[in-house]
Amino acid sequence: MSKVDFLKLRNKLSNPELLITDLTEYEQYFHDATEDSCVPEALIFTECENDISETIKFCREHKLSLVPRGAGTGLSGGCVPSQGSIVLSTERMKKLEINSKKKLALCGPGLITKDLQDKSNDVGLAYPPDPASYEESTLGGNVAENAGGLRCKRFGVTKDYVIGLKGILADGKKFSTGIYNKNSGFNIGDIFIASEGTLCVITEIAVRLIDAVSPGNTLLIAFNSPKDGANAVSQIIMSGIIPTILEYIDGDAIACSNEYEKSDLLDDSEAILLIETSDIDISDQTEKIRIICQNNNSKYIRIEKNDQKAESLWKVRRNISNAMKALAKIRVSEDVAVPISKFPEIIDYVRQLNERSTIRINCYGHAGDGNLHVNLMGMNGSDTELEIIEKHVEQIMKKTIQLGGTISGEHGIGLAKRKYLGLEFDKSTISYMLKLKEIFDPDNILNPGKIFL
Ligand SMILES: Cc1cc2nc3c(=O)[nH]c(=O)nc-3n(C[C@H](O)[C@H](O)[C@H](O)COP(=O)(O)OP(=O)(O)OC[C@H]3O[C@@H](n4cnc5c(N)ncnc54)[C@H](O)[C@@H]3O)c2cc1C
């Protein structure tokens, strides 16, 4: 139990029951989808902006920090509580207003990504960003991490759809950007996107919607070697084809998925590409992809015309991260991204690392973007495994930078990658990021310890 007296805050909230100080049954709020965890002083389920302002004021008075949280599906430790913090969950702020004429939606930060997609589809529109966690993740978390997803090769990532934000700053005051104003002046909205809860609490998100997109063909292409699959990926993209989705899955990731799903939907191959062609020029694109894959020694190409079967394949893909987590005692998932011409090199590097290592390493990812999730799995959970994983993570980061890539394709920096920030950004760039943090949050109340060491 916390020693802080929360009575004053409780009385200021729209509903006193929003504040939880006995955390016995709230263990899931101590961590996200990574291994890190910490017990906060309290947890609060905010329902309106005033609750957030009051909580921030209370934090300032009591020298507590505030850790914003959505659904806790983050893969970089972004919402893991810091010592002496209140976790502020925006999961109950689920506003959704769709304006079909203007093709936009006003969303609460706690709205589930899939709910926005489904409701947009109901009126003939679409919200394309689709992190594999879309059935659980919230819009607030998506904006705070600038989430990508399967369809992002063709349609772009979260930031490409945000047209306005509302939120509360570290002094408890409100701000608004983009369409909530007249769009003149500095474009400060972009600073809050991917700020990982360190600059503000997002309370509303305006997103643009596009006309509904019909599905293309779902293709499952199997290869006898990771190298062939990776070469096919880079040749498809470099030839100018833009499929809606292009996912790469290596042999061991397939094995994990099949074991978890108790199915053999993904054939036992060394590498698989799961592709959804664009809905434009479906046959032409399918044929071009087929030829490139055949030239790279594909074992077979299955065109899935049955919608339900295609959907089961995508479901299996979306579950792969959970499969790894369920099978390993320790699972660290790195999301690097490299220029598409270098995709075969990073795949080969991961393969070699796995061959040399005593731990299990596999990979999969939104390959169309050059994005790769490298999974390092400790099967017995020992300290030795942890040490080996840490060493390999550093090797993977260095290799990625050497190939001209980025240490985070989409999962953010959080706790997990803060010590590698200097590999990608020079000192002066980091110092300007820190100056921004100081301007918005001089007392370091919002999500301290994240992004920067
Ligand atoms: C199975 C699985 C698959 C995934 N697939 C993908 C994928 O394909 N693409 C991808 O990009 N990510 C993926 N992720 C990672 C994760 O789902 C995304 O980062 C997602 O955007 C996190 O949303 P969340 O609501 O769970 O946020 P949380 O994990 O709760 O928080 C993430 C960050 O956002 C901040 N935050 C949350 N809400 C607010 C708010 N209202 N105001 C300010 N800051 C806030 C937190 O402080 C934290 O820093 C996956 C995760 C899992 C477990």
Domain 96-211 has CATH 3.30.465.10: yes
Check if 7-89 and 218-402 are the same fold: no
The preferred substitution site among 92, 114, 133 for testing ligand 1, maximizing ligand atoms within 8 Å of CB, is 133
The minimum-distance atom of ligand 1 relative to the CA of 167 is: 42
Pairing of strands 330-337, 65-69: unpaired
Ordered by start, the domain boundaries in the chain are 7-89, 96-211, 218-402
Q: How far is CA 173 from CA 109, 201, 324, in A?
A: 17, 10, 42
- For residue 1, the model assigns a pLDDT of 64
Q: At what angle do helices 320-327 and 251-261 cross, to 10 degrees?
A: 80
Residue 261 CB partners (closer than 8 Å, separation 6+): 316, 319, 323
Query: 213: which 2 tokens?
Result: 């997109």
CA atoms of 5 and 267, how far apart (whole Å): 58
Buried b (16+ CB within 10 A) or exposed e, 241-265: bebbbbbbbbbbbbbbbbebbeeee
Neighbours of 124 (CB within 10 A): 11
Q: Domain spanning 7-89 has what CATH number?
A: 3.30.43.10
pLDDT of 136 over the 80 cut: yes
The minimum-distance atom of ligand 1 relative to the CA of 136 is: 26
Give residue ranges with CB within 6 A of ligand 1: 32-33, 67-75, 78-79, 90, 109, 131-133, 137-138, 140-142, 144-145, 147-149, 196-197, 201-202, 321-322, 410-411, 447
218-402 fold: Vanillyl-alcohol Oxidase; Chain A, domain 3 (3.40.462)
> Which of the residue ranges 12-26, 230-244, 305-319 would you say has the lowest mean pLDDT?
305-319
Digit-coded pLDDT (tens) for 53-78: 999 999 999 999 999 999 999 999 99
Digit-coded pLDDT (tens) for 299-357: 999 998 788 889 889 988 999 999 999 999 999 999 999 999 999 999 999 999 999 99
* Residue type for position 413: I
CA atoms of 148 and 361, how far apart (whole Å): 23
Ligand 1 center to 270 CA (angstroms)? 30
pLDDT of 183 over the 80 cut: no
| C-beta separation of 144 from 195 below 8 A | yes
Query: 91: which 2 tokens?
Result: 């999961």
Ligand 1 center to 194 CA (angstroms)? 10
The average pLDDT across 87-103 equals 98
Neighbours of 267 (CB within 10 A): 13
Task: Quote the mean pLDDT of the chain.
Answer: 95
Q: Which of 343, 216, 213 is nearest to 275 (CA)?
A: 216
262 φψ region: left (φ > 0), alpha (ψ -120 to 50), beta (else): left
pLDDT interval class at 382 (50, 70, 90):
very high
Q: Between 184 and 9, name the one with better pLDDT.
A: 9
Ligand 1 center to 320 CA (angstroms)? 17
The minimum-distance atom of ligand 1 relative to the CA of 148 is: 11
